Structure formats: C-alpha cells, structure tokens
C-alpha cells in the first residue's frame, strides 16, 4: 500500500466526513455478502433473481438470500469488466473508489494484469490489501490511500479505469480530467452509477433520501456526458441497467441486511426519477 499524509489526501471538510463514514462503516450488507467467497463489493446487483431462495428451510433462508444477493453483485462487476475491452496481462488498470477491493481482484483474475485501487478510507485500503495478500495476488493488486481526483499516478499509465458507484462523491469535471490524464490514448473508462433524470426537473424526494443516507451528491444524467466529452472521453456504449437492478432491490428489501434505504431506491427507479447506467468511453 502506498501511504500518504491524510492532510494531502483529504482536502475538504466534505472529503473528511466521507472518509470518516467509510472508516467506521461495518455494515453487514457489505461484510456478510463478502464473506460468501472473499470478494467484498461496495455496489449493488443486477440480473434475474432466483426467488426460490425465499422457500424451503427457514433455518437457512437468510444464508440463501445473502448468497443470492452476493451473486447478483458479482454479476454487476462482471458486466462492468466486460466493457473494459481488450486488456492484456502487461496492461495496468485503476479501480477509482475501490471500496474493499472485490472488483480489483476480479479484474486481475480475468485479465492477469496489474490493478491499482484507490480510496480515501484508510480502513478500506488496509482491509483490501489484506484480502489481496490472502489470495496471493498482492504483487499484482495493490490498494492505496489516495484521492481519486489527484492520485499521483503517472500520466498515460493506465489502459483502463473504472468507477463503480463512486462518482457521486466527487465533482465530475475534476474526476474526468484526472482520469483522462492517467489513461493512455485509446484507453477505456467505464462507470456504473445512479444518476437522476434531468427530464423530471431535479432531484426527487426519493433521490434526496438516497443522498442523505450515503452522504453523497447524486449527479444528473446529462452531467456525465457533458463532463466526459469536455475531458476527451468519448462515450462508446451506454447501457440502462435500471430494469435489471430493480429485482435486486426487491430481494434486498426482504433480506436480513435491509437498511431501510431499499424503498427510496425502488420508488426512484419505478417512478423514473433515477436511472442506473453503465457508460463506457474511450480516451481520445
């Protein structure tokens, strides 16, 4: 792990508040799911739910639901990695806002390349590096306590970069400028994110509840495309995952790790005020 001075990494009261939140966070919705196979995600799931997990022996019902939720979250990460394009073992990837590092490990196992993850949570970075060491991939997958708006990595050093549900914590213009700097020409950027629908005229009540719950600032859909094109990132693929994520949230609402935020997500998705998008863009 690359250690940095917290004063250099955390540059505003807001960033310090976000870091403090994630340093203390031990939510079972993240930890219990990761315990299934050691891949700890900090994002949501997509795909058809196997509703049979609700049936059968009550004593193992919770365990079945947890395993199914984790499967759906892993499917989401696989879909993101599918859009990174032709990545070779000699390439380098960046997981921006890596959480506890599950997607970085998946990327290395798939492509065989070096993967760096960055987070402003020192606890997440320590945990993620422990997981990489336990899997014997610490030489290829490394996590760093750094700010994704100013990582310090070399210009043009990355073949691919992704954000998986972490863009709502930063200014998009600053983020995409830094990503464009780090990406080699022709490199690929991918994000999966929740964004509010410009057509509905601002944040709905449900979207505002999500912001408050996670101490984040959900951006409008249009801002992603404006900020990307202003920073030499040209979208090549846009996939609306909204319909594919609703079943995950319906299952999570019935799970032992429900937090109460499930209803605002379901309301926002169903009323059309909130979209779950995958955007892939090339560095030009």
Query: Does residue 116 register a pLDDT over 80?
Result: yes
Domain coordinates of the chain in residue numbers? Answer: 27-148+156-283
Tell me the backbone φ, ψ of residue 228, rounded to 5 degrees: -65, -55
Q: How confident is the model at residue 117 (pLDDT cuts 50, 70, 90)?
A: very high
Range with the lowest mean pLDDT among 3-17, 21-35, 263-277? 3-17
Mean pLDDT confidence for 40-57:
96
Residues 6+ apart with CB under 8 A from 7: none
Place 4 in a pLDDT band, splitting at 50, 70 and 90.
Answer: low
Query: To the nearest 10°, the Cα dihedral for 100, 106, 108, 111?
Result: -150
Question: Which pLDDT belongs to residue 3?
Answer: 45
| Residue 71, C-beta contacts closer than 8 angstroms, at least 6 positions apart | 45
**pLDDT class of 30 with cuts at 50, 70, 90:** confident
**For 250-266, what is the mean pLDDT?**
97
pLDDT over threshold 60, residue 64:
yes
Average pLDDT over residues 71-86: 98
- Residue 8 confidence (pLDDT): 87
Buried b (16+ CB within 10 A) or exposed e, 150-161: ebebeeebbbbb
CATH number of the domain located at residue range(s) 27-148+156-283 in this protein: 3.40.50.150
**So what's the pLDDT on residue 216?**
94
Residue 1 has a pLDDT of 44
Name the pLDDT band for 266 (thresholds 50, 70, 90).
very high
In this prediction, residue 243 carries a pLDDT of: 98
Question: Could you tell me if 235 and 219 are in contact, meaning their C-beta atoms sit under 8 angstroms apart?
Answer: no
Please state the three-class secondary structure of 240-258 as a single string.
Answer: ECHHHHHHHHHHHHCCCCC
Nearest-angstrom CA–CA distance, 163 and 193: 8
Q: Tens digits of per-residue pLDDT, 162-205? A: 999 999 999 999 999 999 999 999 999 999 999 999 998 889 99
Question: Residue 29: is its pLDDT beyond 90?
Answer: no
Sign for the pseudo-dihedral over CA of 189, 192, 193, 195 = positive
Task: Tell me what pLDDT residue 5 has.
Answer: 58
């Amino acid at each position: 792990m690359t250690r940095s001075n917290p004063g250099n990494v955390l540059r505003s009261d807001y960033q310090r508040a976000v870091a403090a939140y994630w340093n203390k966070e031990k939510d079972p919705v993240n930890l219990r799911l990761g315990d299934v196979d050691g891949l700890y995600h900090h994002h949501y799931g997509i795909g058809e739910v196997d509703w049979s997990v609700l049936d059968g022996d009550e004593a193992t019902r919770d365990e079945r639901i947890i395993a199914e939720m984790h499967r759906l979250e892993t499917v989401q990460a696989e879909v993101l990695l599918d859009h990174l394009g032709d990545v070779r073992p000699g390439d380098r990837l960046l997981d921006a806002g890596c959480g506890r590092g599950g997607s970085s490990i998946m990327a290395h196992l798939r492509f065989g390349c070096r993967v760096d993850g960055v987070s402003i949570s020192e606890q997440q970075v320590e945990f993620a590096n422990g997981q990489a060491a336990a899997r014997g991939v610490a030489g290829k997958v490394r996590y760093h306590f750094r700010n994704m708006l100013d990582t310090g990595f070399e210009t043009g050093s990355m073949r691919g970069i992704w954000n998986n549900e972490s863009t709502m914590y930063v200014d998009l213009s600053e983020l995409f400028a830094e990503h464009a700097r780090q990406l080699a020409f022709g490199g690929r950027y991918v994000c999966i994110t929740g964004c509010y629908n410009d057509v509905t005229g601002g944040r709905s009540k449900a979207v505002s509840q999500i912001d408050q719950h996670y101490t984040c600032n959900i951006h409008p859909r249009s801002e992603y495309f404006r900020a990307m094109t202003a920073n030499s990132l040209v979208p090549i693929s846009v996939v609306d995952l909204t319909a594919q994520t609703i079943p995950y949230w319906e299952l999570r609402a019935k799970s032992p790790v429900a937090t109460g935020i499930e209803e605002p997500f379901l309301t926002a998705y169903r009323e059309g005020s909130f979209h779950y998008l995958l955007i892939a863009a090339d560095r030009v």
